[in-house]
Structure 1
Amino acid sequence: MPKNSKTSLIQTIASQAYQTFHNGASSGFGENNVFLEHQAVLVTLLSKITAADLNIASPKKVSRKSAEAPVTYMHICETDAFSMGVFLLKPGASIPLHDHPGMNGMLKVLYGKVNIRCYDKLEIAVGADAKDESQFEPPQGDAVSRAVLRTSGQFTVQSAPCVLSPAKDNLHEIDAVDGPAAFLDILAPPYDPNDGRDCHYYKVLQTVGRKEQGSEDEVWLVEIPQPDDFWCGGEPYPGPNVSV
């Protein structure tokens, strides 16, 4: 059998991603045992992927001219069920706090180190908590939400994939640490503004505090336009062909 007939790992990941996510509304996946089994297989496969598998290497020299995009994206494939690609972050670059409405996601670092902070919105109306000790008055007319910081930590090539769902860790921000970084990204289903899955950006207005010892930090978030210092460029994907 010719050597090039062997299925690449990224093709296997794409096929497993389709099998995991193709059955419809992601909001119902969390309680579905079949989905969880498929998702576990996908996480295991993602844990094995390396930059070399995609013909990607950490740049030895990184130009950071002001006119260049701080983040670039390599598109690998997209179906109605999921999209997959690679994000490359220049040193000091950040992907601002943003959401993934009704979407599942997975992120696996290929090189470098990133810090990821994940938040969840809380189902609480502004001003509804009479015992709120923050004494914070949200700006009138702004889209303000109460949220909780669920997780915060650094991820490297040795780390397990970061996994988000429609209900947990859905909002996150990603910062490159100590140099350039890259990660493989899967979103299911893909962003689609026409189907209620548009990307929204946020900033933390104020930390509310913790309700009790050991609980997560609660914050106020305000929706903002895409920050002026963040935009995403494009680069060709140099890895094995993928078809789904």
Structure 2
Amino acid sequence: MTIEVRLADVSRSIKKKKCCRKASSKTKRFPSYAVSFPLQRLYMACLDVFKGAGTVPTSADVQKLCSILDGMRAEDVGLSKNLQFFKTTSIAEVTPKVVCTTIYQSENFSLCIFFLPANAVIPLHNHPGMTVFSKLLLGKVHIKAYDLVNDDDNSNNNSSSPSQSKLASLKADGVFTAPCDTSVLYPTSGGNIHAFTAITPCAILDVMGPPYSKKDGRDCSYYKEIPLDALPQERAVPTGEKSERCWWLEEIEAPKESEMEGIEYMGPPIVETRLL
């Protein structure tokens, strides 16, 4: 069974489009759904929290978004555990492909859902200059996350050539099961470089501010892990960092697993107005 078939009941009319397509400036209409109050509330909060490139939400704003996301359920974006996609299947995928749908996108932030079949991988990648909130809506996923070590040679997530290794500190390496708290990463902390491996079929809601933009210098880079003792120790592990949690990260070309299929969002609509 192909992933397109398993996702047939996520949207009645799946249309293959470029992943993370920019939303229309006009209000979308979805006759089969009423406005979802939690989703609308999230959108309204994002309008206030995200101020554009070069800014990071305050701790109070982070808590505000987390409190909304922590309370959100799969049903708030039109998903259900009863969807065929979230049921186990005896037919294995040779290369499970991740599917992405964009709920909303502007210059300041985007709301996206990623669907991962069991064993699918979103490879180790970064979020340059971005603050990202990830909410696991359904399923069980393994997350591994790193931050670049803050020294003179590792001050920029996106500054090295593909052949140059960067010293990084492991910040997360564990399994998360829905429902669970929202995870937050920042431009230079919180696990800005991370990877997902689906243990069961998963749905992850991502709030990214600002979104990826190649023209604005926020292109996605991919990495491979190299054990600390595998390369010459050119820089000592900084004070406060445990050597067993440090790895070299080497930038690589986008791997095959990074390819995603984009589908049209067919869940509850967002009303683009503050007058609610």
Q: Shorter-chain TM-score category?
A: 0.7 to 0.9
1:217 counterpart residue number: 245
Offset at residue 150 of structure 1 (A): 1.4
- Indicate which of 54, 67, 77 corresponds to 1:44: 67
Instruction: Give the conservation status (yes or no) of the 8 Å contact 1:97–1:203.
Output: yes
Matched, 1:142 2:163: yes
Judged with a 3 Å threshold, the aligned counterparts in structure 2 of structure 1 residues 15 and 212 are, in CA distance, closer, same or farther, namely same
Matched, 1:55 2:78: yes
Offset at residue 5 of structure 1 (A): 7.5
Offset at residue 206 of structure 1 (A): 1.6
Looking at structure 2, the residues matched to 64 and 235 of structure 1 have their Cα atoms a distance apart, in angstroms, of 22
Letter in 1 for 2:123: P
2:99 counterpart residue number: 72
Name whichever of 207-216 and 155-164 sits farther off. 207-216
> Could you say what secondary structure the match of 2:173 adopts?
strand
Instruction: Give the conservation status (yes or no) of the 8 Å contact 2:52–2:209.
Output: no
- Equivalenced residues, count: 220
- Indicate which of 114, 122, 132 corresponds to 2:141: 114
1:133 counterpart residue number: none
Judged with a 3 Å threshold, the aligned counterparts in structure 2 of structure 1 residues 240 and 141 are, in CA distance, closer, same or farther, namely closer
Judged with a 3 Å threshold, the aligned counterparts in structure 2 of structure 1 residues 15 and 211 are, in CA distance, closer, same or farther, namely same
Offset at residue 143 of structure 1 (A): 2.5
Offset at residue 159 of structure 1 (A): 1.2
Offset at residue 236 of structure 1 (A): 2.6
Q: Which has the higher strand share?
A: 1
1:200 counterpart residue number: 221
Letter in 1 for 2:129: G
Offset at residue 73 of structure 1 (A): 0.5
Instruction: Give the conservation status (yes or no) of the 8 Å contact 2:35–2:268.
Output: no
Letter in 1 for 2:175: Q
1:8 counterpart residue number: 37
- Structure 1: unaligned runs, 5 residues or longer: 127-139
Offset at residue 214 of structure 1 (A): 8.1
Q: TM-score scaled by structure 2?
A: 0.72
> Could you say what secondary structure the match of 2:135 adopts?
strand
1:101 counterpart residue number: 128
Q: TM-score scaled by structure 1?
A: 0.80
Judged with a 3 Å threshold, the aligned counterparts in structure 2 of structure 1 residues 41 and 97 are, in CA distance, closer, same or farther, namely same
> Could you say what secondary structure the match of 2:41 adopts?
helix
- Indicate which of 195, 219, 231 corresponds to 1:173: 195
> Could you say what secondary structure the match of 1:29 adopts?
coil
Name whichever of 88-97 and 216-225 sits farther off. 216-225
Superposition CA RMSD, Å = 2.6
> Could you say what secondary structure the match of 1:87 adopts?
strand
